[in-house]
Amino acid sequence: MDDRRKQFRAWEVLDGRREIFCPEESLPQDDLVFFLLDLMPQLDLSAIYGFYSTDLRGQPPFSVEMMTTLLVYSYSVGVFASRKIAAACERNLAFLAIVGNDPPDFRTISDFRKHHQGAMKLLFLEVLSVAGELGMVRLGNLSTDGTKIEANASRHKAMSYGYMLKDLERLQAEIDKLLENASQVDAEQDAALGSRRGDELPAELKRREDRIAKIQAAKARLEAEGQLRAEAEQGERDAATAQREAEGKTRRGKPPAPIDPTPEDKAQTNFTDPDAKIMKRSNKGFDYCYNAQAVVDSEHQIIVAAELTTAANDKQQAVPMAKAAIENLSAANIALPCDEQGQSLPIPNTADSGYFSETNVSEVTAMGLDPHYALGRQKHHAPPEAPLAASPAEASETPKEAMSRKLRTESGRQLYAARKHIVEPVFGQIKRVRGFRKFLLRGLELVSAEWQLICLTHNLLKIWRFVFRLA
């Protein structure tokens, strides 16, 4: 009988407890944390330093470079919550390489993220400038798209305008009833109160008045939004009327009914995050979300523009995103393409059918871009049409016909087909690889800064991989 046994390596359980680990000796030299420790102090962080220049009281704050590096590294590796970041600073070697023996607590991390929301846009431009200096932005194809990201708001903390009117009426009736009952028993209460004044507000009355105040504030928000929509619609009517008068035409049919600014009964607002809006998510029904927009360069999937909107539809985002991309490229000192004579060349800009309108195409073209926007959804497995030869636009063509012809040319097909592996993988890398599926902050201003932080860390990851691939 063979009594041999498998031999195992010896495990001295106390050795690991006594060992002193050095991040620089334990982690690879090309680790992301060392790349950021070298890069972040070289960036312009004056916008963050300015926050501390007006208040010299109290203990010295943590180093700006250290806190910025910590926040950027955390978002790069998919650790977003301030409590999880603080815990990692005590247990993770890469985090210890940043904070050393003086880790900040979770409240300090959370406050730093909130206080410096305005600096995230400038930091995004700093990182974009680094990508430009490395030649990672070629402007061969700027692809625009958007994705819905869940807001930090519960569907159960929302109310429709119609229900608000009913609830206000019910709560006011309950308050009136409480006040009536209170006046009837004043004499008995005075005898029982003793030295107390007896005019303290009943707890149940205060709760109802607090709820009325919150509902009235939410009702006012919906009414303000309704007023803005009414003014916009009236402006469109006035513009159409002026155009008809200029062309000598008269309006046919009955005159339109006056615009009612009152919100619809089904219009909703959220008490947790009033800026978040109900949006349809892919295969997940409806939820409170923000519409996160990005313009991505084709060469290395560098994000050149990142904005956030509360509008679920992408139709109104084509022009603002094109403008943001041009402005960011200029701020990051990235040269636009030119011919041999120094004349500016149009930059291809691809987007799906959600961005197409004749006005969008016209305005984006005027900015120096060459839009390639789909006119509708393409059928899967449909036989491809024969490509058209490139030809100058005809005077009789409508903008829609011109776009259809451009997308059917060989170059147009190649440009638009590339969109699928330019911008769409970026959202997959952010949501699935790093796990960012829900904003932590609330309110459009704070959430916009968080989206800038997410996008600049995406660019930093691309730069890190590019640099060490060259090395």
If you average pLDDT over residues 251-255, what whole number do you get?
Answer: 75
Q: Is the pLDDT of residue 319 over 80?
A: yes
The more confidently predicted of residues 432 and 212 is 432
Q: Could you give the C-alpha distances from 174 to 167, 185, 204, 214, 455, in angstroms and in order?
A: 10, 17, 10, 16, 50
Domain that holds residue 363: 139-153+277-443
Count of alpha carbons within 13 angstroms of residue 457, beta-carbon side: 27
pLDDT at residue number 126: 94
Could you give the number of structural domains in the chain?
Answer: 3
- The pLDDT tens digits of the residues spanning 101-120 come to 889 999 999 999 999 988 99
Does a structural domain hold residue 363? yes
Does a structural domain hold residue 10? no
Q: Note whether 437 and 368 are same-domain residues.
A: yes
Does a structural domain hold residue 319? yes
Record the pTM. 0.80
Q: Note whether 94 and 25 are same-domain residues.
A: yes
If you average pLDDT over residues 193-200, what whole number do you get?
Answer: 52
pLDDT at residue number 321: 96
The residues, any chain, with a CB within 8 Å of residue 193's CB and separated by 6 or more, are: none
Rounded Cα distance between 168 and 174, Å, is 10
Rounded Cα distance between 360 and 394, Å, is 20
| Banded model confidence at residue 144, pLDDT cuts 50, 70, 90 | very high
Q: Note whether 79 and 224 are same-domain residues.
A: no
- Check if the beta carbon of residue 148 is closer than 8 Å to that of residue 290: yes
The residues, any chain, with a CB within 8 Å of residue 13's CB and separated by 6 or more, are: none
* One-character DSSP codes across 72-98: HHHHHTT--SHHHHHHHHHH-HHHHHH
Does a structural domain hold residue 209? yes
- The pLDDT tens digits of the residues spanning 5-33 come to 877 777 776 666 666 778 888 888 899 99
Q: Which residue has the tokens 């679920």?
A: 312
Does a structural domain hold residue 427? yes
The more confidently predicted of residues 186 and 368 is 368
Q: Note whether 307 and 420 are same-domain residues.
A: yes
Q: Note whether 305 and 369 are same-domain residues.
A: yes
| Banded model confidence at residue 276, pLDDT cuts 50, 70, 90 | confident
Q: Note whether 219 and 333 are same-domain residues.
A: no
Q: Note whether 161 and 106 are same-domain residues.
A: no
pLDDT at residue number 25: 84
Amino acid identity of residue 55, one-letter, is: D
Lowest mean pLDDT among 143-157, 314-328, 424-438: 143-157
Q: Note whether 45 and 106 are same-domain residues.
A: yes
Q: Output Rg (C-alpha) for the chain, integer angstroms.
A: 29
Q: Note whether 337 and 265 are same-domain residues.
A: no
Does a structural domain hold residue 452? no
pLDDT at residue number 408: 86
Q: Note whether 298 and 432 are same-domain residues.
A: yes
pLDDT at residue number 372: 92
The residues, any chain, with a CB within 8 Å of residue 390's CB and separated by 6 or more, are: 409, 410, 411
- The pLDDT tens digits of the residues spanning 216-233 come to 676 676 667 667 677 777
Does a structural domain hold residue 2? no
Q: Is the pLDDT of residue 61 over 90?
A: no
Does a structural domain hold residue 312? yes
If you average pLDDT over residues 66-75, what whole number do you get?
Answer: 95
The more confidently predicted of residues 400 and 20 is 400
What SS3 class is residue 101? coil
Lowest mean pLDDT among 125-129, 184-188, 426-430: 184-188
Rounded Cα distance between 227 and 222, Å, is 9
- Check if the beta carbon of residue 351 is closer than 8 Å to that of residue 369: no
Q: Note whether 220 and 304 are same-domain residues.
A: no
Q: Note whether 147 and 290 are same-domain residues.
A: yes
Q: Is the pLDDT of residue 407 over 70?
A: yes
